[in-house]
Each structure stands twice: as structure tokens, then as C-alpha cells.
Amino acid sequence: MQQNCNQCLYNKSHPFGLAVYLDGCSGCDTHLQKKEIDWVSVNDALIADVNQFKKKKRSYDCIVPVTGDAEDYFVLSQVLELGLAPLVVSVNDYFKNDIGWHNLHNLITHFDVDSLIYNPDINVYKELVRTSLRKFDHILLPFLSLHTSFPVHIAYERNIPLIIWGQNQAVEQVGKFSHHDRAQMSKWSRKEHDMLGLDMDTFIGNGAQVDTRSLNYYMYPEINRLSKRGVTGIYLSNYMLWDPLKQNQASVNFGFKPQKNRASFDIYERAGSSVYYQLHDLLKLKRVGYRKITDHLVREIRHGRIGRSEAKLVEQSYNQSKVELRGFFDWLNVTSSGYEWFKSHRLGSLSELIVESEVAIQSPTLPETLSCFLDASLEVSESFISFEKGVCI
Amino acid sequence: MLVDGMCYQSYNWNKYRPLGALQHVVDMLEEYHCDEIAIIRPARNNDSFSAFKHDVEVLKHINTMTPISFGGGVRDSKALHFLKDLPVERLIFSSAFIKQKIDLISEATQIFGRQAIQCLLPCAMKSKELQIFCCDNASYVPVKQLDQKIIDEYANEVVIYDLLNEGEVDSFDFSLLDQFSFSRQKIVVSGGIGSNSIGEANRQQLASVLVDNKVLHSEYSIKGYKHAAKL
């Protein structure tokens, strides 16, 4: 098999796996299906699928897991258009900035939906973040673990068997399944795509100083139990022509605030996070060899908004963007010497990308076909806000 | 499908999609109470012994209680002996049966036992004639050139693999079976298997079905398939 896709910027080392063909890759090939599928009839199938779950003496028809991201606005708007009564479920990752809190609370108030926000034990959470960073060069595993299992627990406990997710990343990025497969949420998919192939036992190992009794919601519920209540998770991206940039831009009309981004042109995805385009992006580069900008550019190449050669130049430019890490290590209660040790011993090869305070870079010029989707964005006022009321009524 | 030590899904016999690490897949199939796992190397005429060895090494380290059948690229005695210590219950031969390599199959029978030998026949209707894909040559041969008596004699089960419907939703073409003289109790069907085709296989009293890609596309697929088979 070839190593690099000649249509996009991915290669075989993509963490989800990638099949590279003579002309494109599994991700590009799956994207082409979007142009061939009769989405109207697929939408009819969606309506039929969700109608099976509509209220049967229940308060809610479905659960919608959210973080306050632009995608959540789109998903929730579609869920309401389908006539469903959702319970919005969110897990506090403790990494939100002022924009993140606004976007989460505005989502709930704008759409006027019931919500359940889980604030995990901060000490356990920090210990898991510390372990995750130390063992796997990843700081979001504890959050991802909760984000992908807590809503499933709630679905089981409250007997709300339908969970509606936005995009299936494995399909959108590497074409792991055909759109026709309509792959659903599963324990395997969570482990393979969200948890780096780890289960909680391996994740903790003998390093983390946590009592396993505190980890119930971090673990996926038993399949046998879920099966009895028929808990099912579907991805909307299997049922509609999924176009994140276009959809996310529309979320501004609902009061979503985009955030200025120095690591990518995408001001919508993960806006409101204090770490996503900072330490997380740097660790992604260390782990998998590329930064988030590559995912964004691949997506836009496939949607025809930028050419491959131009995208490569944009990628090179954004790959030089600097990251500020100190805020995260302060949040984690790491001493100055510990911070310096980590930088020199664990991030030594990437030291030229680390700065002590944020510096603006000259953003590369984007083609009009892409820049026309980018609205005005905001600067962050305050990062790492553990709790906040993001809207005033 | 096992390619370069990683699992892939195959669609219509011409397109792969990545699935992930073999151990993760096997772990989950075990948790889903899968009865048996078939691991197939889609070996063609450009397969090499080093690629075969690499995949077998991955297989050697698999940890599972679920019975495993393995095939793809077992083309000579050297490859056969390399499989001796593998944690597999059955061996799948395809090109060896099509090319009538009786010596190789006899040797496999002596080492692993007759009940461990499966024959896999990748089939497709081409120009209104049933053709069997011979992986070793990467070419099709008409079904009439197939020595079904030899297959019947040496293979404990025969997998009829519908190439055109592989990876598709519930679309196995049962008319393919009309071209074979094997006892129905000896036939396993694969390629586009879904709940309806499982029901039909049950009605026709086939030995079993081999579900291709669909098992990992949703949480309770195997439970649903077992329900369809009235197990």
C-alpha cells in the first residue's frame, strides 16, 4: 500500500488508520459519497429511525451530549427540528475560558432545553490528567473518557435510550466506514477512536493515585445492561451532508461566539477551550506527527474550498504558530521547576514552538472560497475558569 | 481482513477501510459473544513470505478465548509449518483448492486434522457465468473448472463468499449456491450478510454464516444476528 494520499494531506500513520489508494484515500473516497447520496431519502430514514424512540411516557426522547462547541448548536437545532425533546448532557472539563462558558450556557438558554452538567471530582480529575500527560502525552483523555461514557450512563439510568451525536470523526477523517453503513456509537468505537485504544484499567495502571470507586462514570457501562434498555447512539453526520465549516458559521446566528485562533483558520471548532490549540495541539504533534490545522485543511480540501498545494503552504505557516503552556501547568498545580523539567525533558524537540506569553503570528492568506466562511472572532479575556455563569438573563 | 498486521474491512472485493488493531477487534468480538472469528489475509499474486510472517507474528500474540480460523497466503509446506503454534482452530484455503494442490491440503489435514480445513470460494457472476477468484493468480476461473469432488473430500466446510456484495447491507446472493453440489450442511455463506440473509441461511439449513464488516458497526449487531438465526 502507498503511504501518502495524493488528494489530501493525510498519510497511513493517521491514528485512526487510513487506507491509501492509487487515487486518494479511504477518507477522500468516503467524502465523495456525500455527492452521490440522495440525502432527502436518507433524511426520511433518520426521521423513521428517531420516531421509534419518541416519547413513550418519558420526559425526554433523547440525550444530546454537548460541550458548548459550534457543532453542538447545529446538532441541537436539528434535533429540535426533528420534533424530539432532548436532555442536554455536558461534562465540565475545567478547561473552559470565558468564551467557552458563554457558548455552553447560551446553547442551553437559546434553545431552551433541559440540561444536566456533571462536574467531576476535581482532585481525581487532575490526578487523571497528570497520569494521562505522563503516560500518554495526552491531556484530554480523562475528559474524553467522561464525555463518551457519562451520557451513556445517564441514558441507562434515566431510561432515555437514544443518544444523538454530531459527527462520526472516524468516518469524516479517514472513511473508516461507508456512509451507507451508518455506524453507531459503540464501546469498541469509543476505545479505538476516543481513548487511544486504552481501557480504564490500562489507563490508570499502577501510576495514578486514585480510588477506582471514584471512576464509575469514566468507565463505559456494561453492554449487557445497555442492551436490556436498548441504548443506542447515532451520528447525525451519517444522515446529512456534513459540512462543519458551513454549519458552524451558522451557529453564530444562535449566539455562538467564535474565538480568535492562532493555530488554525477555524475559529469555530473547540472555541472556548484553554488548551485545545495550546498544549493539546503540541502534544498531538508529538504523538501523531501533525497538528490540528492539518485536519482542518484536509476537510476543506475535500469540500473543494482550497487546493492541495495551497493547503500545504497554509499548513506550513500554521505549523510555526507558538503555544503558551504555563496556564495549564499552573492549573495542574505544577511548580515552576516541574514546568521547566517537563518542557526540557518531554517537549525538548518542540521547544521552539513554546512561548511564555502568547504572540501573534501573521496568519496566511486564505482563498476567498474559505475565508468567506470566517466571521469576526473574539479574543479570550480569561482562561481556565472552573465554574462560570456564561449568560445573563 | 488482516493487512500489514492491522485489521481492515473490505468492500466489494476492491476497497479497504481501516478498522484498527487486531487485539482490540478480537477483544470486542469476544465481549459481543461472537462464536468464531475468521481472520483472512487478502493475499494476491504479489504476496510475500515476509509479509505472511509479519501477519502471523501479530496473530501469534493474540489473546482470546474465541475460536479463530485463519487463512490467506498459505501456499506451500513452509508456510504451513509456520502456522503450527498458532492459536487457531481452523485453516482456510482458497487458491490451494482451486489449483488442486492436494499435497498441501493433505499435509494440512495431517497436521491440523480434517475438521480444521475450510475451503473459501470467492464468487462473482460475470457475463452470466459464475466465476471463482483465484487469489494466487489474481484472476477468475469459471466454476466449471472447479473440482468440487476434491473440495468435498478434503474440506470440512465450504465458505461461499459473495464478492460483489461484500460489505453491502444484507444482500448476499443465495442463487450462487445453486452452482455448487455440496451438501447444504457443509456450506457457510459470507459477503453482504445481514439479518434477512441469516434468516434465509437458517431456512436453508446452512452450516453457518460469516458476517463480514457489520459486526462492529453497532453495539448489539451480534445479538441481533443470533436473534435472526433463532439461536
Interchain proximity A26–B18, CB inside 8 Å? yes
Residue A87 near residue A154 (C-beta atoms within 8 A): yes
Contact with chain A for residue B32, Cβ under 8 A: yes
Closest residue in A to B23 (Cα–Cα): A197
User: Where are any strands of DSSP class E within chain A?
Assistant: 20-21, 24-25, 62-66, 86-91, 114-118, 162-165, 232-235, 323-324, 354-355
Interchain proximity A26–B217, CB inside 8 Å? no
Distance CA B32, CA B111 (A): 31
- Give B60 to chain A, closest Cα distance, Å: 20
Instruction: Provide the pLDDT for residue A393.
Output: 65
Interchain proximity B20–A232, CB inside 8 Å? no
Contact with chain A for residue B219, Cβ under 8 A: yes
Angle among Cα A189, A266, A380 to the nearest 5 degrees reads 105
Instruction: Provide the pLDDT for residue A2.
Output: 67
Percent of residues, chain A, with pLDDT higher than 70: 98
- Predicted confidence (pLDDT) per residue in B181-231, tens digit: 999 999 999 999 999 999 999 999 999 999 988 899 999 888 888 888 876
Mean per-residue pLDDT, B88-114: 95
- Predicted confidence (pLDDT) per residue in A263-317, tens digit: 999 999 999 999 999 999 999 999 999 999 999 999 999 999 999 999 999 999 9
Contact with chain B for residue A16, Cβ under 8 A: yes
User: Where are any strands of DSSP class E within A1-54?
Assistant: 20-21, 24-25
Question: Which residues of chain B does A22 touch, with a Cβ-Cβ cutoff of 8 Å?
Answer: none
Instruction: Provide the pLDDT for residue A1.
Output: 58
Interchain proximity A176–B17, CB inside 8 Å? yes
Return residues 346-365 of A near B (CB < 8 Å).
none
Q: Name the pLDDT band for B86 (thresholds 50, 70, 90).
A: confident
Distance CA A127, CA A141 (A): 12
Mean pLDDT score across all residues of chain A: 94
Distance CA A279, CA A118 (A): 24
Distance CA B187, CA B160 (A): 7
Partner residue opposite A17 with nearest CB, options B20, B32, B217: B20
- pLDDT score of B44 more than 90: no
Closest residue in B to A230 (Cα–Cα): B220
Contact with chain A for residue B94, Cβ under 8 A: no
Contact with chain A for residue B69, Cβ under 8 A: no
Contact with chain A for residue B169, Cβ under 8 A: yes
- Predicted confidence (pLDDT) per residue in A156-194, tens digit: 999 999 999 999 999 999 999 999 999 999 999 999 999
- pLDDT score of A94 more than 70: yes
Contact with chain B for residue A23, Cβ under 8 A: no
- Give B31 to chain A, closest Cα distance, Å: 8
Higher per-residue pLDDT: A71 or A55? A71
Q: Name the pLDDT band for B169 (thresholds 50, 70, 90).
A: confident
The grid cell for A147 is 464525555
- pLDDT score of B164 more than 90: yes
Instruction: Provide the pLDDT for residue A205.
Output: 80
Question: Which residues of chain A does B18 touch, with a Cβ-Cβ cutoff of 8 Å?
Answer: 16-19, 26, 174, 176
Task: Decide if the complex's ipTM is over 0.85.
Answer: yes
- Give B20 to chain A, closest Cα distance, Å: 7
Q: Which of A37, A18, A73, A93 is closest to A294 using CA atoms? A: A18
Percent of residues, chain A, with pLDDT higher than 90: 89
Q: Name the pLDDT band for A76 (thresholds 50, 70, 90).
A: very high
- pLDDT score of A195 more than 70: yes
- Predicted confidence (pLDDT) per residue in A321-345, tens digit: 999 999 999 999 999 999 999 999 9
Size of interface A-B (CB pairs under 8 A): 82
Partner residue opposite A197 with nearest CB, options B21, B167, B168: B21
- pLDDT score of A361 more than 70: no
Question: Which residues of chain A does B3 touch, with a Cβ-Cβ cutoff of 8 Å?
Answer: 1
Distance CA B23, CA B25 (A): 5
- pLDDT score of A59 more than 80: yes
Interchain proximity B218–A175, CB inside 8 Å? no
The lowest-confidence range among A31-45, A46-60, A246-260 is A46-60
**Beta-carbon neighbour count of residue B58 at 10 Å?**
17
The lowest-confidence range among A51-65, A136-150, B174-188 is A51-65
Q: What is the 3-state secondary structure (H, E, C) of B90-111?
A: EEEECHHHHCCCHHHHHHHHHH
- Predicted confidence (pLDDT) per residue in A203-258, tens digit: 888 777 888 888 999 999 999 999 999 999 999 999 999 999 999 999 999 999 99
Instruction: Provide the pLDDT for residue B225.
Output: 87
- pLDDT score of A56 more than 80: no
pTM, 2 dp: 0.94
Residue B111 dihedral angles phi and psi, to the nearest 5°: -80, -45
Contact with chain A for residue B192, Cβ under 8 A: no
Mean pLDDT score across all residues of chain B: 93
Partner residue opposite B8 with nearest CB, options A19, A178, A192: A19
